[in-house]
Structure 1
Amino acid sequence: MKLLVPCALLALLQLSAAARLPADAQLTLGRQLLGEKDHKYKAGENVPLWASKVGPFTNPSETYEYYKLPYCQPKDGVKNKLLGMGELVEGNRLASTPYQLQFRSDRKREQVCEQLLDQEKLAKFRKAVQDDWYFQMYYDDLPVWGFIGKMEKLFKPGGVTEFKYYLFTHIDFDVKYNDDRVIEINISTDPQEAVDISEGITDTVKAKFTYSVKWTPTTTRFEQRLQRYERFPLNPVHLEIHWFSIINSCVTVLLLTGFLATILMRVLKADFIKYSKDDPAMDEEESGWKYVHGDVFRFPPYKNLFCSFVGTGTQLFYLALFIFGLALIGVFYPYNRGALYTALIVLYALTSCIAGFVASSYYKQMEGELWVRNILLTCFVFCGPFLCMFAFLNTVAIVYRSTAALPFGTIVIIVLIWSVVTIPLTVFGGIAGKNNRAEFFAPCRTNKYPREIPQLPWYRTTVPQMVMAGFLPFSAIYVELYYIFASVWGHKVYIIWSILAIVYVILIIVTAFITIALTYFQLAVEDHQWWWRSFLCGGSTGFFVYGYCFYYYISRSDMSGFMQTAFFFGYMLMVCFGFFLMLGTVGWRASLMFVRHIYRAIKCE
């Protein structure tokens, strides 16, 4: 056991390194799987610049269409680019812009338009500057960002504070190219050419919007152009410190788990020796986990719901494995615009047969008769709450007129996927599980009447046990949670999938071990109702993660407003519910294997 922990960690690191392809190979393979083509241009050929969205920098979910602000529009009208499902889910809406960025054609100073900003337009720009709005654009599939303007605070005599608002009207585009391909683009705004739009200056402001373009050759290859985003200032910095923190956390948790496993193995060994002796006096005492052998395999109450939870948790477990597999081969490279969301939707639909099969199979093994109800419950046990939450949050986004609100066509496609693919596959898997001839294996016969459970102290009840069970796995993922939250609910980009895969494996191992230990302690005091307890203890990490959401929202982020708050806590509630189902299934399966093992190892009459 002393060598098991470092060896296991070393093996995980080696497997992760083996799974990682070189950056060039990852990018090429990712583009092939996503069906993308490399763009080549001739000198003077127009490369369109697409405007994606605008919104408050501190509220990543609160985004709006670019032309919500009264910017200059193209002379031939605004054209919208057809986007994929994942891009729309991510909140992108690509619209054409009046900027002309011909390939390898410098422009010193070009005028886009000249506008007379009235009070209504000034109010919109002023509100955007006050809330620190930014804009996002795409040029040859490369993202680029800039701020709408800046705000200055002036202190006047007498303690009077005055705010000045400036709108950036000039943009410098710095584009790098290699032969016939675009490699890099950067945007800078000139504060010297900002227009004062402060309140009370004048009723109207004349603003002249201009831009310049500079093309610079570079030796960076096209396959390596996305590597710069791995070093982008908004990304996680100090990679070595990140690795050290994760390894330190994982080693600490694994050592604690190994220590707990060692104690448990020694106690079990002593129990096996004691229970193997044929001592009539010892039999008369009847204390310990051996003497609940006639009730330990009694099926749990609400087994319909229990089996649905286990089936859905198993599906989410395999879904996470498939996502990690795609990530480790380089499919989810930085800023591939919604590929992760597309993969989640498609893989969830395709893996729904796993949920149906597992739920129905266990339900039959537990002598359940309402198998149709079990299959239907499995279809809705996770999707039902998620769809209700989505309907509420999408309505909020529609009220705000945000790009976070999915278009009607996209909603129809998702509903069709759920009704045409997810539900039928769940039903087919349920029918296959129902017809499965496997029977529940129980080393001991179950008594006709349940044994009375003795009075237990408060710390051995369900809730305190869940707190103890969830703390150790949560401590294993605590460090990594910040980077994940900063990526999903911020502007950082998560690219270190190998670290996340290692943390995921550690989380599964720790959850299994801690649930097994608590199940043993529960049986040792002759509490034989371990089925639901093991599931709740295994899934209790989800409650800790949701508690961390409050800490992150208050202490680690600047999010504000009803829409952003609703999106954050609403969708994280669904994510934590998925964590609860997945880790609860892991805990119950590990406990089932453990209980079968210990009761098979002794003689039970």
Structure 2
Amino acid sequence: MSDSPITLLVVGVLIACCLTHVRSDSSDHRFKVGDPVPLYANKVGPFHNPSETYRYFDLPFCSPDAIIKEKREALGEVLNGDRLVSAPYKLNFRDEKDSALACRKKLSEQDVAQFRSAVEKDFYFQMYYDDLPIWGFIGKVDKEGKTHPSEYKYFLYKHIQFDILYNKDRVIEISARMDPHSLVDLTEDKEVDVEFMYSVKWKETDTPFEKRMEKYSLSSSLPHHLEIHWFSIINSCVTVLLLTGFLATILMRVLKNDFVKYAQDEEAADDQEETGWKYIHGDVFRFPKYKSLFAAALGSGSQLFTLTVFIFMLALVGVFYPYNRGALFTALVVIYALTSGIAGYTAASFYCQLEGTNWVRNLLLTGCLFCGPLFLTFCFLNTVAIAYNATAALPFGTIVVIVLIWTLVTSPLLVLGGIAGKNSKAEFQAPCRTTKYPREIPPLPWYRSAIPQMAMAGFLPFSAIYIELYYIFASVWGHRIYTIYSILFIVFIILLIVTAFITVALTYFQLAAEDHEWWWRYVNSLVYFDFFFPFHLFNNHNVKF
């Protein structure tokens, strides 16, 4: 592939830039006494559903400024649903305050009802102070001694206590506590005058700046969590050993005997009637149906696999530390765009090997095979997010940026890769001659049909990684933080081995049943996500924290 080294070089430069950015961040954030430290309010949402978030000032909080100042955000931050605006609190470096007034506001009946609804849904807020996350609940529900929901009382917190740790001229840690004695009654729909107050306490610490993010990843490294992760790896290794022994038995007891027999007495073997996989040797390498779609699927799969490898590389070198806002989404968009040449090369090269002629249409299919369904899904979800005014809705400018990346980077690299693949002059070299007419496939029992075979092909890979999937989905759809990328990478390698072994085994069984149409079935069998989806739904609705 002619543009492959260029693509890898560009991605390498991207990695170096990311690492440089991380190092430069750790050398900044220095303040003098009294200097303003950036504090941004991000979003609010129900605690039980972290994916449902809204802008901070969608709730009728008061702002000391007439115009709310929005922070200029990177692409990844917008994709992550972050909408940072200036917060109504002033936390200057080492400037302590006691019950300082942030702002006053007269809540109308509609404002009271809106706050009460948020308190009832257990809304929390998120802020960032010098890039450190802060959380807190906006209110509480008093259910003590009350049996019916109509008797509940709803209160809004109006006083926040900020506790900040510093080391010399740097901020190390911050936490927010709500004063349980400073409340506003929201039970009745009536106008209320509210004074939003806050206090600030500073305390010195010996924790170095470079380790200030470690506390957010400690939950993933607790002993009982690590034991579960290692149990997952041991379980996966046992699966690999069982599959290895299974395949070794097949190869040693079945195939070896055939090879020895043919090697010793080739003429006698020719006189015998062929059965099983030997009977269809002239049909095994017959080109599959819909070869353009088949080649496009291989090209897209190669690109996604390369994308996964690069994401793991960035994770292992520490780019995706906790609350590095939008870093993962930025990496996904940029690396996907830069690796599109791999998809074009793989698809066009294999399509030409299958004696395809319309390689341009094959490239168009390759470019749309993944992006097309993704775009349709995005349109639906973005429309829903816009209807609910959620932060998950992408602004028009961000959509334009993504379209430009796809048009100016992804598409040209896809075409260059396709041209290189078309001119690679690779030929499909089958080890035996393909007959002119395909043999008829004998009737097969139901468990050898496509759906049961796909289920079996997906079950073992899923069983090898389901524990790690639990933690990943709990991180994506919940409040957990996943940072043990080294263990995840080990499980990923085991997943590849298990998938390869089970595919070889099931392909052998299919050929032994004289079914030579194996191309599409076992490309589909590799898509073992048919088992992931119900597990994903289970985690989405049942994970408790």
Q: Which residue among 234, 245, 251 is the counterpart of 1:259? A: 245
Q: Which residue among 56, 74, 82 is the counterpart of 1:84? A: 74
Q: Which 5+ residue runs of structure 1 have no aligned equivalent?
A: 1-25, 559-605
State the Cα deviation string for residues 288-342 of structure 1 (Å, max 9, x = none): 2122111111100000000000010011111100000011011111101000000
- Note if 1:238 corresponds to 2:213: no
Correspondence 1:50-449 to 2 at 5 A: 50-155=40-145, 162-199=151-188, 203-231=190-218, 238-266=224-252, 267-276=254-263, 277-278=265-266, 280=268, 283-449=271-437
Q: Which residue among 450, 462, 478 is the counterpart of 1:462? A: 450
Counterpart in the other structure of 2:538: 551
- Structure 1 residues 114, 52: closer, same or farther in 2, change over 3 A? same
- Structure 1 residues 419, 29: closer, same or farther in 2, change over 3 A? closer
Cα pair 2:229 2:467 within 8 Å, conserved:
no
Q: Which amino acid aligns with 1:66?
A: Y
Cα pair 2:47 2:122 within 8 Å, conserved:
yes
Please say which of residues 290-299 and 277-286 is displaced more in the overlay. 277-286
1:255 Cα shift? 2.0
Q: Which amino acid aligns with 1:435?
A: N
SS at match of 1:192: coil
Counterpart in the other structure of 2:4: none
Counterpart in the other structure of 1:19: none
RMSD between aligned residues: 2.1
State the Cα deviation string for residues 207-266 of structure 1 (Å, max 9, x = none): 22100000000001111111111125x997733323322222222211222222222222
Distance, in Å, in 1 between the alignment partners of 2:175 and 2:331 is 30
Please say which of residues 32-41 and 511-520 is displaced more in the overlay. 32-41
Cα pair 1:155 1:162 within 8 Å, conserved:
no
Percent identical across equivalent pairs?
A: 56
Cα pair 2:261 2:269 within 8 Å, conserved:
no
Counterpart in the other structure of 2:9: none
- Structure 1 residues 129, 494: closer, same or farther in 2, change over 3 A? same
Q: Which amino acid aligns with 2:113?
A: A
Distance, in Å, in 1 between the alignment partners of 2:116 and 2:207 is 40
Distance, in Å, in 2 between the alignment partners of 1:72 and 1:531 is 63
Correspondence 1:527-542 to 2 at 5 A: 527-539=515-527, 541-542=528-529
Cα pair 1:236 1:492 within 8 Å, conserved:
no
Q: Which amino acid aligns with 1:271?
A: D
1:375 Cα shift? 0.5
Cα pair 1:155 1:161 within 8 Å, conserved:
no
SS at match of 1:552: helix
1:279 Cα shift? 5.5
1:48 Cα shift? 2.4
Q: Which 5+ residue runs of structure 2 have no aligned equivalent?
A: 1-14
Cα pair 1:235 1:492 within 8 Å, conserved:
no
1:122 Cα shift? 0.3
Q: Which amino acid aligns with 2:90?
A: Q
Distance, in Å, in 2 between the alignment partners of 1:364 and 1:73 is 63
- Structure 1 residues 68, 235: closer, same or farther in 2, change over 3 A? farther
Taking structure 1 as the reference length, the TM-score comes to: 0.84
Please say which of residues 346-355 and 399-408 is displaced more in the overlay. 399-408
Distance, in Å, in 2 between the alignment partners of 1:104 and 1:297 is 74
Distance, in Å, in 2 between the alignment partners of 1:522 and 1:397 is 46
Correspondence 1:486-525 to 2 at 5 A: 486-525=474-513
Q: Which amino acid aligns with 2:102?
A: V
Please say which of residues 170-179 and 246-255 is displaced more in the overlay. 246-255
Distance, in Å, in 1 between the alignment partners of 2:271 and 2:474 is 58
Cα pair 2:237 2:494 within 8 Å, conserved:
no
- Structure 1 residues 211, 235: closer, same or farther in 2, change over 3 A? farther
State the Cα deviation string for residues 120-146 of structure 1 (Å, max 9, x = none): 110111011011111000000111100
Counterpart in the other structure of 2:8: none
Q: Which amino acid aligns with 1:259?
A: G
Distance, in Å, in 2 between the alignment partners of 1:30 and 1:281 is 62
- Structure 1 residues 175, 518: closer, same or farther in 2, change over 3 A? same
Distance, in Å, in 1 between the alignment partners of 2:361 and 2:104 is 65
Distance, in Å, in 1 between the alignment partners of 2:238 and 2:341 is 38
Cα pair 1:515 1:538 within 8 Å, conserved:
yes
Distance, in Å, in 1 between the alignment partners of 2:60 and 2:464 is 48
Distance, in Å, in 1 between the alignment partners of 2:524 and 2:447 is 15
- Structure 1 residues 156, 389: closer, same or farther in 2, change over 3 A? closer
Taking structure 2 as the reference length, the TM-score comes to: 0.93
Distance, in Å, in 1 between the alignment partners of 2:104 and 2:74 is 35
Q: Which amino acid aligns with 1:90?
A: N
Please say which of residues 508-517 and 243-252 is displaced more in the overlay. 243-252
- Structure 1 residues 268, 205: closer, same or farther in 2, change over 3 A? same
SS at match of 2:172: strand
Distance, in Å, in 2 between the alignment partners of 1:219 and 1:251 is 42
Distance, in Å, in 2 between the alignment partners of 1:525 and 1:282 is 21
1:34 Cα shift? 7.7
Cα pair 2:477 2:540 within 8 Å, conserved:
no
Please say which of residues 325-334 and 286-295 is displaced more in the overlay. 286-295
1:205 Cα shift? 2.0
1:32 Cα shift? 3.0
Distance, in Å, in 1 between the alignment partners of 2:89 and 2:385 is 29
Distance, in Å, in 2 between the alignment partners of 1:175 and 1:134 is 20
SS at match of 1:492: coil
Cα pair 2:473 2:540 within 8 Å, conserved:
no
Across the two proteins, how many residue pairs are aligned to each other?
528
Cα pair 2:474 2:539 within 8 Å, conserved:
no
Please say which of residues 69-78 and 162-171 is displaced more in the overlay. 69-78
- Structure 1 residues 247, 379: closer, same or farther in 2, change over 3 A? same
1:547 Cα shift? 2.2
- Note if 1:44 corresponds to 2:34: yes
Cα pair 2:262 2:269 within 8 Å, conserved:
no
1:492 Cα shift? 1.3
- Structure 1 residues 493, 129: closer, same or farther in 2, change over 3 A? same
